Amino acid sequence: MPQIFTASADTRLRTAALLLVAVFVVSLLFTAGFMNSTYLTSVGWVVTQPVPFSHEHHVGGLGLDCRYCHASVEVSAQASLPATHVCMTCHSQIWTGAPVLAPVRASLADNKPLHWQRVARLPDYVYFNHSIHISRGVPCVECHGRVDRMPLLARAKPFTMEFCLDCHRDPGPHLRPRDQVTRMDWSGWHEDPQFARKQLQAFGIQPDKLTNCYICHR
Amino acid sequence: MNAGLVIATLLTLAVSTCDQMRHQPRYDYAEPSKLFADGTSLQAPPDGTIARDDPTWQAALTDRPPMTAALLARGRERFGIYCAVCHDLAGYGQGIVPSRGFPHPPSYHIDRLRNAPSSYLVDVITHGHGAMYSYADRVSPADRWAIAAYIRALQLSQDAPAASLTDDERAKLDGGGK
C-alpha cells in the first residue's frame, strides 16, 4: 500500500491548525475592540449643528443653569432642547448681527424650529426618564460629563447597558443633594459619609430591583 | 440542502442585524420627519387648542399662594436659574449678561418696584417687559408667585429699618455681622 501522507504532512497540519486559532483569536480581539470603540459608542464625537452652540461659553463662561434651556428636565422624561426664542432672550440684544447666529434669527422670523442634531440618544427599545433621576439627585455630570468644558457638545459616556447597570447596581455613591444636580464641579459629598445610605433610605431605592429588565425595556 | 432556502435565511439574518430594532417606527423627541412640511416631528398644537390643565394653570395665575418658607425656598431656586444671570443674586441688575452688553435691568431696590404689587412682578414674568422677554414658557404660574415672593424678601433684605430688628439681630449688626 502506497503512503497517503508525505513526511511533512504532520507539520503542515499543525501550522494550519495554529493559523486557524490565531485568526480566530485576532478576529475576536478585533470585534471586542470594535464593540468598545468610540466609533460605536459615539463618545467624544461632535456632530455638525446648524449653529455652533458652545456649552463652554454659556454654561462655563456665563454660568447659566442647565434648566434655563433644558427646562423640562425635572418634570418629564425629556430634558428638551431650547426653543428659538430662548436663545433670543439674550441674542435679541447681544451679538445681534453675528453671522453665526443667522440661522437663529431666520428661525425666529419664519417661525420654524432649529434642527439640532441629537448627540445623546438611546436605541428605541430602551426606556429612559430624566425626571426620576433628577428628583433622586443623580447629577447631569454623571451621564453627560463636563458639559461646561465642551465648546461643541460630544457624548461623554458610552450609553451602553453596562453603563446604566453599573450605577443601578449601587446608585448610592453617585447621588447628591437635590439642589446640586446641575452643578458640574460639586464635590462636597464627603462632608457626610452617611449621605449615600440616608438618600437610599429616604427615597426607598432598592438596587436589587433596579436591575430588572423591565425597568429599562418596557 | 436547497440553496434558495439558505440564501433566504442568510438574507433575513443580514437584514435583522442591520438595525437591531434601534429605530422603531415612532418619533423620538425632536426627530426629523418627512410627514410635516417643516420637516420636524416637533409640531405646535393647532391654534385654539387648550391643554386639559389649562383652567387650573390660569387660575394659579390669579390665586396668590400663602407666604411660607417653602414658597420662598422655591422662589430662591427659580430666581437663581432664570433671573439672576441678568438681575444678579441680590437684585441690583448687575448680572453677568448685562456686563456683556445686554441693557441693564433696573434695580429691584427702587421705590417704584418696592411699591409695585406682587401681581405686577408675576405679570412681568408672564408677559415680559421692554427688552426682557416673557418667561411664561419655562416658569409655571405657581413658580411665578414663588419668585415674586422671593423678590419681596430680597427687597426687604436691602431695606429693613434697623428698628424692626430684634435685640439679638441688632447686636449682630453692630458686631459687623460676626
A178 interface with B at CB cutoff 8 Å: no
pLDDT tier at B30 (50, 70, 90 boundaries)? confident
Smallest CA–CA separation between A199 and chain B, in Å? 21
Phi, psi angle pair for B168, to nearest 5°: -55, -50
Disruptive mutation site among A72, A89, A112, A129 for chain B (greatest number of B CBs within 10 Å): A89
Q: Choose among A68, A86, A89: nearest Cβ to B81.
A: A68
pLDDT digits (tens, 9 = 90+) for A191-217: 777 888 888 898 989 989 999 999 999
The answer to whether residue A161 neighbours chain B at the CB level (below 8 Å) is no
Over residues A156-198, the pLDDT tens digits come to 999 999 999 999 999 988 998 888 999 998 777 667 778 888 8
Say if the Cβ atoms of A80 and B29 lie within 8 Å. yes
Q: What are the helix (H) ranges across chain A?
A: 9-36, 38-41, 55, 66-69, 84-91, 102-110, 130-135, 140-144, 161-169, 195-203, 207-210, 213-216
Which cell is B123 given? 405679570
DSSP letter assigned to residue B110: S
Tell me the domain boundaries of chain B.
55-169
CA–CA separation, B178 and B173 (whole Å): 8
Query: Are A94 and B82 within 8 A, CB to CB?
Result: no
Secondary structure class of A3 (helix, strand, coil):
coil
Q: Which three cell numbers stand for residue A150?
A: 465642551
Which residues, in sequence order, are CB contacts of A73 under 8 Å at separation 6+? Answer: A66, A67, A79, A80, A130, A131, A134, A140
- CATH architecture assignment, domain B55-169: Orthogonal Bundle (1.10)
Question: Domain boundaries in chain A?
Answer: 55-61+72-80+118-215, 82-115
Cβ neighbours of residue A201 closer than 8 Å, sequence gap 6 or more? none
A 17-56: CB under 8 A from B:
none
Contact A182, A139 (CB under 8 A): yes
Q: Count CB neighbours of A21 within 10 A.
A: 10
Confirm if A71 and A80 have CB atoms less than 8 A apart.
yes
> B153-165 b/e with 16+ CB inside 10 Å = b?
ebbeeeeeeeeee
**B29, B78, B86: best to mutate for the A interface, most A CBs within 10 A:** B29
The answer to whether residue A65 scores a pLDDT higher than 60 is yes
User: Nearest CA to A136 among A96, A192, A181?
Assistant: A181
User: Alpha carbon A155 to chain centroid distance?
Assistant: 5
CA-based nearest distance B27→chain A, Å: 9
Angle of CA points B110, B116, B121, to nearest 5°? 100
Instruction: Kindly indicate whether the ipTM for this predicted assembly is greater than 0.90, answering yes or no.
Output: no
pLDDT at position B167 over 90: no
d(C-alpha A217, C-alpha B9), whole Å? 28
- Asked whether the beta carbons of residue B137 and residue A83 sit closer than 8 angstroms, the reply is yes
Q: What is the dihedral of CA A157, A159, A164, A167, to 10 degrees?
A: 0
CA B25/CA B27 separation, integer angstroms? 7
CB contact, 8 Å: B80 with chain A? Answer: yes
By the 8 A CB rule, do A38 and A44 touch? yes
Decide if A45 contacts A158 (C-beta within 8 A).
Answer: no
pLDDT, residue B2, reads 73
pLDDT tens for A118-157 read: 898 899 999 999 999 999 999 999 999 999 999 999 999 9
- Using CA coordinates, name the residue in chain A closest to B26: A124
Neighbours of B127 (CB within 10 A): 12
User: CB atoms < 10 A from the CB of B75, how many?
Assistant: 23
Among partner residues B40, B102, B138, which is closest to A113 by beta-carbon distance? B40
A124 vs B24: CB contact, 8 Å cut-off?
A: yes
For chains A and B, count residue pairs whose Cβ atoms are closer than 8 Å: 66
Count helices and strands in chain A by DSSP H and E runs:
12, 0
Q: Inter-chain contact A88–B133, Cβ cutoff 8 Å? A: yes
In the predicted structure, residue B19 carries a pLDDT above the cut 80? no
Per residue in A22-41, pLDDT tens? 999 999 988 888 877 777 77
Element (H, E) at B99: helix B96-99
Contact A205, A171 (CB under 8 A): yes
**pTM assigned to the model:** 0.91
